[in-house]
Amino acid sequence: MITNFETNKVLLAKGMTFHAYVNATRHLLDIMHSKGIEWSYLPNASSPYHIWARDYMPVQVNKEKFVRFNYSPNYLKDNPEYKPDKSSILQELGIHVINSDIIIDGGNVISCGDKVIMTDKIYRENSNYNHNILIDKLSKLLETEIILIPEDYYDEYGHADGMVRYMGDGCVLLNNYCDFDKALRKKLISALKPHFDISELHYDTNTDKSWAYINFLHVGQHLFIPMLEDKLAEIAFKQIAEAFPKCECHPIWDCDNIVREGGALNCCTWNIQADR
């Protein structure tokens, strides 16, 4: 399956250009332009509520294959205004998808090439499926092995992209659970260790927003790391940059308003491998 290292184009909703997010968005787009990274706005996603992209857009398996999962998250049950018309977006982009009835958000899909990491929230979201049948169907759709990790129950979204990221060469980077939740850390390491070499972020302290730093946008050999006005920002940036020595890392400041909405830069973007 295509990893972030193989992507070369970024799309984002035009809602990101509204005043609360405009500084971070302008900074992100200016750097991408300067680095020759192609980007565009998603069509038909221009409401001030349309700030997210990752979760409702399809998962790219290979250059031609996209799988669209059922975007029906429990956390938006009473907030439909955050959900744009996905079919019209795909139609205007000219992307043909394989539709699946399985409920999964894009932020819960971490591609590691021959493996994909997801949290076990997929069991709760798809209680109509037998567990083994669900995993088998996912594996066939994504043409890869499914590695499940326990979800963080303090995260209402249950996504993997605020917990762990793929570093390449069979290695993953784990968020700083060693600083604040050693029980969950132990379970995560138990689930990941048979499949990956593990590096960990470690800050000697914690804030309730530490997940936001690992929720960076990774496209090709570039990382765009969200920066917050808190004590961890510089420490987090330094450690993530050291974990990705072959990548050029860019701090994106003024991300606090985005994070207050419940996501960060990986959540509000969708990167793919496209024809140049």
Q: What share of the chain is helix, strand, coil (3-state, %, to 5)?
A: 30, 20, 45
Number of domains in the chain: 1
164 close to 193: Cβ distance less than 8 angstroms: no
Return the pLDDT at 84. 96
Return the pLDDT at 206. 85
198 close to 174: Cβ distance less than 8 angstroms: yes
The C-alpha atoms of residue 154 and residue 270 are separated, in whole angstroms, by 25
| Domain residue limits at 201 | 4-272
Task: For residue 159, give the amino acid letter.
Answer: H
Average pLDDT of the residues in 101-130 = 98
Q: Which of 126, 149, 150 is nearest to 138 (CA)?
A: 126
Dump pLDDT digits (tens) for 171-197.
999 999 999 999 999 999 999 999 999
Report the CATH number that the domain containing residue 116 is assigned in CATH: 3.75.10.10
Q: Is the pLDDT of residue 276 over 80?
A: no
Dump pLDDT digits (tens) for 228-259.
999 999 999 999 999 999 999 999 999 999 99
Q: Is the pLDDT of residue 166 over 80?
A: yes
Return the pLDDT at 205. 87
The C-alpha atoms of residue 215 and residue 225 are separated, in whole angstroms, by 8
Average pLDDT of the residues in 199-225 = 96
